[in-house]
Homo-oligomer: A and B are copies of this chain.
Amino acid sequence: MSHEPARPKYQRIADDLRASIDRGEYQPGDRLPGENSLAADFGVAPLTVRQALGLLRAEGLVDSRKGSGVFVQSFRPIRRRGIHRLRRDGWGSGQTIWSADDDRSPDVDQINVHEDVAPPEHIARVLGLADEETSCVRGRRYSMDGRPVMLATSYLPQTLVAGSPITQAETGPGGIYARLADLGHEPVRFREEIRSRMPTGEEAARLSIPADRTVLKLVRTAFDAEGRVVEINDMTLDSAAYVLDYEFDA
C-alpha cells in the first residue's frame, strides 16, 4: 500500500477555495472571508491561509485589496486572435475551448512616442540596425472595463519613419501598418513569439497586478515584402486576462 505523500495544507486549502469558486459558492465580485476567519475555519495559522490565497492571486482567480478584503475576480478573458482571416461558414463558431470576449475594443492610454532612441540590444539586432542607428519607440497601455490588461511598445527604424505620421501620437486610419504601407513598406508577414515570465516592478505597477502574477511576453515582428523587419511590437499581457488564439491551414 503506497501512501501518497500528503499534499501540503496550503495547497489543499487553495484547492478547496478554488473548488468553492468553481462551484459558484463565491460569485465573481464576492468577498472571501477574512484571513483570520479562514484560518479558524481550516484550523491553521493565518500565514498558511495566506500561502493558499497567494496561489489563487498569482493565478488571477482572486484579487486582494489592502484594507478591504480578497475578492473573486470576474473571469472573462479576452480572446486575442493572432491571425485574422475570413472564416469559412460554419467553422469556429461555438467551438472554442474557453469562452471569452471577442473583438471588443479596449481603451488606450499612456500613449507616448520618442524618436531617435537607442533600443535594447536584442531589439536592435532583430531590427537589423547598424551601430549607433536609432529607432522610433511608441508605447501605450490597453485597458478593458477600466482594468489594465496589456502594455505595448513598438520599435521602428528611425530612418524609415522620420517625418511620417508614425512619429505622431495619432497615426490616422489603419494605424502604423497603413502608414508603413504608405511608405512602401507594407507588412506582409508576421512572427509572434510568446514567453512567460515574472513582471518587472514597473510592469506590475502599470498593469495593477501582484508581483507574483506571471505576465505573457508577446513579441510581434513585422516583415515587409523584401523580408526587412519594419516593426517590432513588444507586448506585456496580464496572463489571467487573455486567451491567445491562432488559426491556420495545414
Contact = CB atoms under 8 A, between A and B. Distances in A.
A223 B91 contact: yes
Interface string A179-221: 0000000111111111111100100000000011010100101
B188 A249 contact: yes
A227 B15 contact: no
Interface residues of A, number: 61
A189 B83 CA distance: 13
Contacts of A246: 82-83, 191-194, 246, 248
Interface in A141-197: 186-197
A191 B229 CA distance: 27
B245 A191 contact: yes
Contact of A193 (B58, B122, B245): B245
Q: What is the copy number of this chain in the assembly? A: 2
A96 interface: yes
A59 interface: yes
Contacts of A221: 95, 97
A212 B50 CA distance: 13
A243 interface: yes
Contacts of A126: 95-97
A8 B248 CA distance: 45
A195 B83 contact: no
A214 B211 contact: no
Nearest to A11: B211
A247 interface: yes
A40 interface: no
Given A59-B198, A190-B248, 19 more contacts: A8-B211, A55-B211, A55-B212, A83-B248, A95-B191, A97-B122, A97-B221, A97-B232, A186-B250, A188-B250, A189-B248, A190-B249, A190-B250, A193-B246, A194-B243, A195-B243, A195-B244, A214-B214, A248-B248
